């Protein structure tokens, strides 16, 4: 089977359309089961009480936020290296979902911090680098929307994403070091007692669900981007995308 | 006529930028004055207690230096972009990253070096003395070139884009975080008696990494902007 034909946006469009329902369904199931385990089955934590249950959303969201940034940067590198239009469309489609997960991680972190640490916001290394990650997502997205020329917007925001991915580890370590230098880590996730298997199961299920959700949402956003950008081609031969031809 | 070599070209570019800066002295004066004013506003806002001022000195002066550098980033490429010199620079038969490094060096001499030279005076305003004052100068000397290097990437990316002044701040400031942390950390830890050498080493490492990577990224951003 020749996979490379799907690098053409108009060939990718129907393929993405067929995949979205599957990913969506799996995402809904995994998140439902994961939430059931996390909120009802998993035992109450003897130190943190019920408040700890927010980690079933928080930790997967934080993982996805970093993972999606790397995926976005990889697509940007592919786009810059191979000059492939679809790669840049994927970069554009991933950024909002990544930013959403970053925001979700910050929000749930604050909600967990208030009862546990007694403060909505602590200048913890993880929190701070997550906040900077949000700024970087914002920078990539705003750079794209500020440039009118499509090709330049794609390539410039691609370079921006790549520069950011080099910086993320440096920022993380510098922030961690800065924090420990001043006050010592007050609360550390790694030093917490080993997690019960049922909690880990719930968290992994949620991560899997978020992953599938991201795929579904990113693919449907990529379809919108394709429709927007390829409107001229679609106009000339509407038969290339059956769904669009049907609508018209 | 023989082609000028790499070093001659580089020297020519640096000399031209410095000459342009000398001819337009008010640009340099504005960013230096900006630094002084920003640094002077903090005591007015926080209060004149010497102990408080000493605690915040390193952070305030570093943030002010960061903002002054940000303010001058627009000057690195914009004028050359508008009058077409940049396009000619891309056509020079020498590696573009090296030429970019030359321009960034000239930018640092014009905008970073005055900050370094002025910093002892500002440090005195905040009650820093002795070793901490020296550490402030040293950390700025090592850190401001990195700021210019990273900043040039952002300046090249937003070339000719609407609202570029604010956009470059959004792109570049998150990348400045490590430099800010190590720079202010060097001063703070030397005040605490730990000695700021570890932070200075890290600043040096940041400088080496940015000198190695940033001109390359800037060059590709310039090619994107001008293609």
> Nearest residue of A to residue B161 by CA position?
A147
Written in H, E and C, the secondary structure of A73-109 is HHHHHHHHHHCCHHHHHHHHHHHHHHHHHHHHHHHHH
Once rounded to an integer, what is the mean pLDDT over residues A229-246? 65
Provide the residue ranges of all domains of chain B, joining segments of one domain with +.
6-226
- The predicted-structure confidence for A5-20, as pLDDT tens digits, reads as follows 788 888 888 888 889 9
What pLDDT digit, counting tens, does each position of B84-138 carry?
888 888 888 888 999 999 999 999 999 899 999 999 999 988 888 888 888 999 9
Whether A186 shows a pLDDT value over 70: the answer reads: no
Closest by CA position to A47, among listed A189, A207, A206, A185: A189
Interface predicted TM-score of the whole assembly (ipTM), two decimals = 0.84
Question: How high is the pLDDT of residue B155?
Answer: 93
**Range with top average pLDDT, A122-136, A181-195, A231-245:** A122-136
- The architecture of the domain spanning A18-185+193-247 is Up-down Bundle (1.20)
Q: Is B166 on the interface with A (CB under 8 A)?
A: no
CB atoms within 10 A of CB B35: 24
Name the band, by pLDDT with cuts 50, 70 and 90, for residue A136: very high
Q: How far is CA A92 from the centre of its chain?
A: 12
Interface of A with B (CB under 8 A): 80, 132, 135-136, 138-139, 142-143, 146-147, 151-152, 155-156, 159-160, 162-164, 166-167, 170-171, 174-175, 177-178, 181
Statement: residue A106 has pLDDT above 60: yes
| Contact state of A142 with B170 under an 8 Å Cβ cutoff | yes
Tokens describing residue B211: 């000198």
pLDDT score at A181: 46
Distance from CA of A65 to the nearest CA of B (A): 17
pLDDT tens-digit readout, A72-86? 999 999 999 988 888
Upper half-sphere CA count for residue B170 (Cβ side, 13 Å)? 21
> What is the pLDDT, as a whole number, of residue A40?
83
Condensed to tens digits (0 to 9), the pLDDT of residues B48-74 reads: 888 888 888 888 999 999 999 998 888
Give bridge partners of residue B175 from the DSSP assignment: none
Percent of chain B predicted with pLDDT > 90: 37
Q: Say whether pLDDT at B11 is over 50.
A: yes
Q: Identify which of B173, B122, B113 has the alpha carbon closest to the alpha carbon of residue B141.
A: B113
A180 CB neighbour count, 10 Å cutoff: 11
- Give pLDDT, residue A27: 93
- Tokens of residue A60, six digits: 């997967």
């Amino acid at each position: 089977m020749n996979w490379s034909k799907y690098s053409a946006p108009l060939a990718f469009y129907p393929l993405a359309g067929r995949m979205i329902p599957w990913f969506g369904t799996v995402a809904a199931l995994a998140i439902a089961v994961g939430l059931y385990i996390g909120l009802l089955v998993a035992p109450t934590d003897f130190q943190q009480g019920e408040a700890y249950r927010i980690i079933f959303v928080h930790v997967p969201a934080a993982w996805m936020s970093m993972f999606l940034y790397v995926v976005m940067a990889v697509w940007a590198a592919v786009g810059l290296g191979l000059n492939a239009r679809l790669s840049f469309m994927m970069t554009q489609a991933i950024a909002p979902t990544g930013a959403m997960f970053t925001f979700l991680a910050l929000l749930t972190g604050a909600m967990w911090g208030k009862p546990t640490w007694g403060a909505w916001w602590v200048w913890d290394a993880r929190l701070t680098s997550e906040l900077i990650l949000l700024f970087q997502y914002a920078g990539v997205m705003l750079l794209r929307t500020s440039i009118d020329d499509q090709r330049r917007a794609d390539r410039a925001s691609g370079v921006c994403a790549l520069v950011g991915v080099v910086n993320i580890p440096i920022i993380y370590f510098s922030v961690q070091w800065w924090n420990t230098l001043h006050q010592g880590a007050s609360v550390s996730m790694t030093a917490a007692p080993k997690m019960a298997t049922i909690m880990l199961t719930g968290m992994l299920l949620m991560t899997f669900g978020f992953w599938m959700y991201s795929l579904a949402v990113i693919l449907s956003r990529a379809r919108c981007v394709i429709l927007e950008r390829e409107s001229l081609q679609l106009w000339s031969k509407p038969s290339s995308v059956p769904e669009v031809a049907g609508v018209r | 006529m023989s082609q000028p070599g790499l070093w001659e070209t580089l020297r020519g570019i640096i000399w031209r930028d410095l000459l342009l800066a000398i001819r337009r002295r008010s640009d340099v004066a504005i960013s230096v004055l900006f630094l002084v004013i920003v640094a002077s506003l903090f005591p007015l806002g926080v209060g004149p207690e010497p102990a408080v001022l000493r605690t915040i000195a390193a952070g305030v002066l570093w943030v002010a230096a960061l903002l002054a550098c940000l303010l001058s980033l627009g000057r690195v490429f914009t004028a050359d972009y508008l009058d077409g010199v940049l396009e000619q620079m891309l056509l020079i038969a020498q590696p573009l990253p090296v030429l970019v490094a030359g321009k960034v060096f000239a930018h640092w001499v014009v905008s970073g070096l005055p900050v370094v030279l002025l910093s002892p005076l500002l440090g005195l305003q905040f009650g820093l003395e002795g070793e901490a004052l020296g550490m402030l100068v040293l950390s700025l000397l090592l850190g401001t070139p990195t700021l210019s290097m990273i900043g040039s990437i952002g300046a090249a990316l937003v070339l000719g884009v609407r609202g570029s002044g604010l956009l470059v701040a959004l792109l570049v400031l998150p990348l400045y975080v490590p430099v800010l942390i190590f720079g202010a950390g060097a001063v703070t830890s030397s005040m605490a008696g730990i000695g700021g050498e570890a932070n200075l080493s890290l600043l040096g490492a940041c400088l080496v990494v940015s000198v190695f990577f940033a001109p390359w990224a800037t060059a590709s951003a310039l090619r994107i902007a001008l293609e």
